[in-house]
Structure 1
């Protein structure tokens, strides 16, 4: 069964590194094979990085969206993970789970868990950057399609 996407007007999605956007009207499309994707609201831009948790999210995002550069970005991930562990000893269990997910190549779920660290770092309030990349997108769907026609 294919995965159906519905994009709102002017909404974007990244599929296997390609940015796809809707026009002035909503549109739907289907993915019939394996693909990695992030909705526009889940994408963190480099200029939005204002804390170590977002730096960690960004590097996981790079590994996920650009697998051709994963060797370098996984090295960056290890370094940033160490920094995050130092800065957030209270989040050791979550960081262990993020590490396990990244090692298992389940990058989307690692990103989702990392977004929760933004809220925890800000006293359970979602800051502007987290709203732009997560704002209500905490549904359990993992956007790696594995569906055939």
Structure 2
């Protein structure tokens, strides 16, 4: 079954490294095969990094979007994960789950869980979306997302 996602007017999406944009109207798209994608509202730009949680999100995003540089970025991930564990001992359980998801190459879900940390500031228990692939606007999983 294909994955359907909707882009808002003028929104962009990165699919397997290619940037695709919607026009002035919302558009529905279907992915019929395995693909890595992030909608524009899910992409964190480097200049937006103002916390350790966002730094962690950014490096996971790099691993996900640029698989050709995964080896280097996974090394960076390990280092930033250690920094985050030191800065956020209250989020040990969430960080352990993020590490497990990254090791399983389930980057999209790791990103969602990490985003919840900087939305809620409480170690991932806020209401910033579902880490289990719920049906909210922000919860569409990419076509290559593996169920836990």
> What's the TM-score once normalised by structure 1's chain length?
0.83
Q: 1:70 — aligned with what?
A: 70
Q: How far is the alpha carbon of 1:29 from its aligned partner?
A: 2.5
Aligned length: 136
Please give the secondary structure, in 2, of the residue aligned with 1:28.
Answer: strand
Please give the secondary structure, in 1, of the residue aligned with 2:25.
Answer: coil
Q: 1:32 — aligned with what?
A: 32
Q: Which has the higher contact order (CA 8 A, sep 6+)?
A: 1
Answer yes or no: is 1:47 the counterpart of 2:55.
Answer: no
Please give the secondary structure, in 1, of the residue aligned with 2:36.
Answer: strand
The Cα RMSD (Å) is 2.1
Between the aligned partners of 1:125 and 1:143, the Cα distance in structure 2 is 21
Query: Does the 8 Å contact 2:7/2:27 carry over to 1?
Result: yes
Q: 5+ unaligned residues in a row in structure 2: which ranges? A: 129-135
Question: 1:107-149, CA deviations, whole angstroms, 9 ceiling, x for partnerless residues?
Answer: 01100100111033379698xxxxxxxxx7442x321348xxx
Q: Higher helix fraction: Structure 1 or Structure 2?
A: 1
Between the aligned partners of 2:44 and 2:65, the Cα distance in structure 1 is 12
> What's the TM-score once normalised by structure 2's chain length?
0.83
Query: Does the 8 Å contact 1:62/1:73 carry over to 2?
Result: yes
Q: 2:17 — aligned with what?
A: 17
Q: 5+ unaligned residues in a row in structure 1: which ranges? A: 127-135
